[in-house]
Structure 1
Amino acid sequence: MLIRLHFIHSLTFITLLISGLFLYITPTRTWFNKVQIPLVSVHVVTAVIYIVIILLSIRFLLSYTFNKPLIKKFNGYLILVFASLWIFSGATMYFQSSLPIVIRNNAVIIHDWCTFLFIPWVLTHSIGHFLHIRISWPKWWRTKAPLPDALQENSLQRRDFLKFFGIGILFVAIGGYIKWFLPTLSISSNEDKRRGYFRIYNVTDDFPRYEDTDWSLTINGSVNQTTVLTMDDVPLFPETTIVDDFHCVTGWSVHGVELKGVLLKDVFDHLGLTTSGKYVTAYSGDQTYYDSFTTSQILDEGAMLVFEMDGQVLKKTQGYPCRLYHPSMYGYKSVKWLSQLEFSKERELGYWQKSGGYDLNGYL
């Protein structure tokens, strides 16, 4: 029974690890979005199966390791500790909308670090089994030999201490190295990681190249006049700057982001625009992504057209030259490369409402 559970556990864990890394790495996450494979759902369903396996395995694991060498106990208990951290942090991320920001942010950090710190152990464990490589552990660690006097007296020998300490530091260093440098494709080189970093999520593997073509924003539908804004029109409107925390529905946040642009209410007031539509759909210039709002959310709740972030013009991956931003909503409502605002009397479901079951309003 334990052998079967071990096999199922290994298969499920590898699926979780690979799907989690694919979600973490921008190009792979984008590819799965493009081919419409619900990777988030796959990861969540696999996680539920993994939890069931862990619960079924605990009694067998404790019974199996009771009279086994220390290395067997260490491997079993290490898996239980990391599994517990993954489960609790993952559950926190899944139900994060009802939890304080500090808790869900720390849950993301714990979930990430557990994964990357565990990768060296997975590689060592797997390669060792497949290639039948054995590390020259002390006899008392890998067999049921009696403990040496030094250990019984709680006094490690210098050689044993250096070996365990060195391997521990090596694993932490490898996992930390991967964790620290892997997101560099998603962030600028000078970003302060202490306040968090943006994980770039796109639904296509490319984006509009507005440095090569002129950008414009069309406001149409149930409005008194169809209007097309260009970059030349932006200085006509009052400039607004806010400092806000940017939150993603997956749990991560970036604190103290400076956003500069113009309020949509100011655009409407300055141009004398009115609308009879109760809803508005915001379309991205990537020709794929879109989301919807009530007209009140767009005009009365501080929604803005953002052109600069942290004192710099938006980067291409951040939605250059213009993205929509609502200060009380999650990042998936912040449509990048904004190209059209279409007002209507009926509300459209957004991209992630259709593809991922996200909340229609997306309030924090």
Structure 2
Amino acid sequence: MKINEFFRFRLSFGKQLIRLHHTNALFFLFLTVTGFFLFSTVFRSSFPELRVWVKESHIWVGFFSCLPVLFYVPKARKHLHALRKKKPNRMNVYIVAAILITFIGSGLVLTFHRQFPPVVNTWSLFLHDAATWLGVPYVIFHSVTRSKWFKRLTAKAPQKKEIGAPVVIDEKQPLYKRRTVLKMIGSTAIVLAFLPAVIKWVNPSFSLNGSTKPDGNRLSPLPTPDAKSAPPIGGGRRGDFRYYTVTEIPQITNDNFQFRIDGLVDRKASYRWEEFVALSRSVQVSDFHCVTGWSVYDVTWEGIPLKTFLEQAGVQSKANYVKFYSADGVYTDTLSIEQALMSDMLVAVLIDGELITQQNGGPVRLITPKMYAYKSVKWLNRIELIEKEHIGYWEQRGYDKDAWVKSL
């Protein structure tokens, strides 16, 4: 379609469909590119402020991408009727429609995730992932093979055929046509490009070299799990963690481990690893929810209740908030005193009877079960009691200070 026709109001039915198709393709391209940026852990850690803007643009363009679909609905019956004798084209319409509807429906739920319980968000994220890792390769293949460039590449001069003459396979009449071969090559390349990501999505523990990355923390002695932790009384966690960080993951050893409690307290405290691991711990089972939509259920955590630390330190009357620091030197967050004194707030050391891994925020991380995980500070190494509210890392970049998870 010519660019001047793109903005015309009166077009034939066929050109209207072409315009909708091209508009939808532009939206899909933008959402695919921004979606992969949002998925990238490198982009998350390198450009956190820019990531917030990319996320907002992804959401708003996602809303606008509904328009071509809505404009197509009244035309769908006539279009499908015109394709009644073209089964491949008709099937392509159904497949693309399914991909778009899945993206739009799951995207709306994830955008307004606070209005839905975690189980709905989890399924929506699964569908969004499925539409990405299975649908995007199909759309790429469809776009390439339907492009004018591909048609020119596969075009050949028409040849006269003698009726009744035997078919001779030679350079002029090959067993496979150029178009077929190029489609096979293109589809294979797309599958190979996306296959590692698809396998990683299906099996998060998958590694290309077949090995598991060793934990970078070096600590001794290791904590002895409580009888309720090993085996875990929660029965073992259901689901997989997705690991995010805003900077390089710190490596914790006996030499650099230090856990402090200070600020507006009567009794400041500082612990080396040998002292910290000897503290009395309790066990709790809770669910873990990320604001991006995924959850891990029935996690058995073992650690020191945050309330215990605060009571032992003696909270002064001026203290209104509790500020948490990460050993990465960048990440911080805050709870009110009332929130911090809730019985399920935990300074965790073990997960399902094992030391929390470096990748998952270990050896010590905060657990806030009824709040989204951006409150659960990883590599926790300091607790400070403060008078005025501190705005946490992601809250400074647009996240809601109200991190409560909607319950069923």
Provide the residue aligned with 1:67 in structure 2. Answer: 82
Alignment partner of 1:17 is 2:54: no
Unpaired runs of 5+ residues, structure 1, are 135-169
CA contact (8 A) 2:305 2:345 kept: yes
Give the Cα separation in 2 of the matches to 1:97 and 1:313. 31
Give the Cα separation in 2 of the matches to 1:272 and 1:196. 36
* Offset, 1:324: 0.8
Give the Cα separation in 2 of the matches to 1:124 and 1:36. 28
Q: For 2:129, which of 112, 122, 125 is the aligned residue?
A: 112
CA contact (8 A) 1:301 1:326 kept: no
CA contact (8 A) 1:291 1:333 kept: yes
Which one has a bigger Cα radius of gyration?
2
Residue type of the alignment partner of 2:27: T
Provide the residue aligned with 2:62 in structure 1. Answer: 47
Against the structure 1 CA distance between its residues 339 and 310, is the aligned structure 2 distance closer, same or farther, given a 3 Å change threshold? same
Provide the residue aligned with 2:369 in structure 1. Answer: 327
Give the Cα separation in 1 of the matches to 2:397 and 2:267. 33
Alignment partner of 1:3 is 2:55: no
Once the two structures are superposed, residues 143-188 of structure 1 have per-residue CA deviations (whole angstroms, 9 ceiling, x without a partner) of xxxxxxxxxxxxxxxxxxxxxxxxxxx9xx9878643325747999
Using the TM superposition, name which of 289-298 and 120-129 deviates more.
Answer: 120-129
Once the two structures are superposed, residues 58-78 of structure 1 have per-residue CA deviations (whole angstroms, 9 ceiling, x without a partner) of 334544443133333222232
Once the two structures are superposed, residues 163-221 of structure 1 have per-residue CA deviations (whole angstroms, 9 ceiling, x without a partner) of xxxxxxx9xx987864332574799969x9993211112122x1212138512222222
CA contact (8 A) 1:353 1:360 kept: no
Residue type of the alignment partner of 2:261: I
Sequence identity of aligned pairs in percent?
28
Q: For 1:38, which of 50, 53, 61 is the aligned residue?
A: 53
Provide the residue aligned with 1:56 in structure 2. Answer: 71
CA contact (8 A) 2:349 2:355 kept: yes
* Offset, 1:26: 2.8
Q: For 1:226, which of 235, 244, 268 is the aligned residue?
A: 268
Provide the residue aligned with 2:109 in structure 1. Answer: 92
Give the Cα separation in 1 of the matches to 2:253 and 2:277. 19
3-state DSSP class of the match of 1:3?
helix
Alignment partner of 1:359 is 2:401: yes
3-state DSSP class of the match of 1:348?
coil
CA contact (8 A) 2:237 2:299 kept: no
Provide the residue aligned with 2:167 in structure 1. Answer: none
Alignment partner of 1:195 is 2:214: no
Against the structure 1 CA distance between its residues 328 and 286, is the aligned structure 2 distance closer, same or farther, given a 3 Å change threshold? same
Residue type of the alignment partner of 1:111: H
CA contact (8 A) 1:305 1:322 kept: yes
* Offset, 1:228: 2.1
CA contact (8 A) 2:237 2:352 kept: no
Residues 1-364 of structure 1: pairs in structure 2 closer than 5 A: 1-33=16-48, 37-68=52-83, 69-128=86-145, 129=147, 130-132=149-151, 178-182=197-201, 184=204, 195-204=238-247, 206-211=248-253, 213-269=255-311, 271-276=312-317, 277-364=319-406
Tell me which protein shows more helix as a share of its residues: 1
3-state DSSP class of the match of 1:351?
coil
Unpaired runs of 5+ residues, structure 2, are 1-15, 155-187, 214-234
Residue type of the alignment partner of 2:127: I
4+ runs of 1 displaced by more than 4 Å? 34-37, 173-177, 185-190
3-state DSSP class of the match of 2:199?
helix
3-state DSSP class of the match of 2:261?
strand
Against the structure 1 CA distance between its residues 289 and 62, is the aligned structure 2 distance closer, same or farther, given a 3 Å change threshold? farther
Give the aligned CA root-mean-square deviation in angstroms.
3.2
Residue type of the alignment partner of 1:78: I
Give the Cα separation in 1 of the matches to 2:108 and 2:99. 14
Output the TM-score relative to the length of structure 1: 0.79
Once the two structures are superposed, residues 129-150 of structure 1 have per-residue CA deviations (whole angstroms, 9 ceiling, x without a partner) of 342377xxxxxxxxxxxxxxxx
Give the Cα separation in 1 of the matches to 2:42 and 2:305. 32
Residue type of the alignment partner of 1:179: V
CA contact (8 A) 2:96 2:139 kept: no
CA contact (8 A) 1:89 1:111 kept: yes
